Amino acid sequence: MTITPDELQALMDKRATELAPDLVAWRRDFHQHPELSNREFRTAEIVAKHLRHLGMDVTTGIAHTGVVGIFRGALPGPVIALRADMDALPVAEATGLPFASHAKAHFEGREVAVMHACGHDCHTAILMTVASVLTRFQSSWPGTVKFIFQPAEEGPPAGEEGGADLMIRQGVLENPAPEVIFGLHVFAGMKSGMLGYRPGPVMASSDTLHILIRGRQAHGGMPWQGVDPIVVAAQVVLALQTIPSRQLDVTREPVILTLGRIQGGLRDNIIPEEVELLGTLRTFDEDMRQELAERVRRTAEKVAESAGATAQVRIDRGYPVTSNHEILTESMLPTLQRVAGHDGVFLSRKITGAEDFSRYQEKIPGLFIFLGITPDAMDPRQAAPNHSAHFVVDETALPVGVRALVHLASDYAFSRSNR
């Protein structure tokens, strides 16, 4: 008997509801046993075992610990990719949950606490559940779905490669090649079960700024005998802030320039030889990203030169702008509204956090959405943010994430197979 797309969607929703206990159990298990970037060994093993149990062709070890499962429907149709990230953060959990993490790991040469403070445990459990849903209806599914479980979204350890960039270089978007990719992120401060979307730029690029200011060491009581890099650093800090506020057209796109560390000197009466500055640059436009970098470099160098010092500027390019394909996003909006209701879907503001889902979007059209996980009883403004030691998730929202990815994949697959 032939199942219509509407009938199939109803059956998949029913299956997603049935799997809610498994979804929560997986999420809690991952939360209690978090692993840092490129070290997601236990998580990857659980994911791979589950996908194999579902009958998928599974490849492991991509970008160190990445896992890819291939689900092939019985009917002809497109290849779609769904992505979840698996890594945790070096954060000491302070939630007091019964399944709170007490894990430890080594990070940058020292032992640290580890916590799923960004919700990647939820993403992994959601995509595992989506796999369980779709494989139940293989005989009615048009096309192929590539399940991508990615390590190191938070960035690989120093001296290592990883994340989406390495997965792509190692062929994750080939054999078979998906024509679109979907992903989601749980987000604190959004009401539980709400879905946020935005066509075009939605999350910022992220570049790391290093500035080394060299002066000339001298006695603190005789500063005229040296060149004080601390004073120069202060001048550079203030001058850099005029770039987003006075030099770039912020009516076009927002620009963020933040200096998070200033380090130099050993004691009160010695003018040091050098001072280091460390910061981050965030933009939503690639041309503005380039212009910002050029202005930062010129400003730091010229301010230092004016004082007789030097400034060595290095900008490490990080993730590009996460930009949702506009046509794909608009075409999928009715899908999101069907999942969460018209009142449950909203146009997201731009978010100055960064995401390496953007790497996939550089290669193929992609849609990245946000899932609210703050309960109605809580003021969203009071919710502990992602990356906080107090970050918590309202697990009742997670089935909405499952249904969102299931329906995005289903609607796209059927729309392409019927052409």
Catalytic residues: 319, 395
Nearest residue to 122 via CA among 405, 344, 328, 332: 405
Identity of the residue numbered 93? E
What is the maximum alpha-carbon separation in the chain?
Answer: 91
Nearest residue to 282 via CA among 256, 301, 316: 256
Beta bridge pairs of residue 351: 203
177: which residues sit within 8 A by CB, 6+ positions away? 79
The DSSP H or E segment spanning 345 is: strand 345-347
Nearest residue to 406 via CA among 199, 177, 129: 129
CA distance 330 to 332: 5
The DSSP H or E segment spanning 189 is: strand 180-191
The Cα angle at residue 247 between residues 227 and 285, in degrees rounded to 5: 115
CA distance 36 to 121: 12
CA distance 192 to 186: 9
What are the b/e assignments for 326-338, b being 16+ CB within 10 Å?
Answer: eebbeebeebbee
| Residue 112 and residue 106 in contact, taking contact as beta carbons nearer than 8 Å | yes
The DSSP H or E segment spanning 278 is: strand 274-283
Nearest residue to 403 via CA among 85, 116, 182, 74: 182
The DSSP H or E segment spanning 327 is: helix 326-340
CA atoms within 13 A on the CB side of 353: 14
CB-count exposure of residue 417 (10 Å: 0-12, 13-18, 19+): middle
**DSSP structure class, residue 224:** G
Residue 226 has which token pair? 């040296």
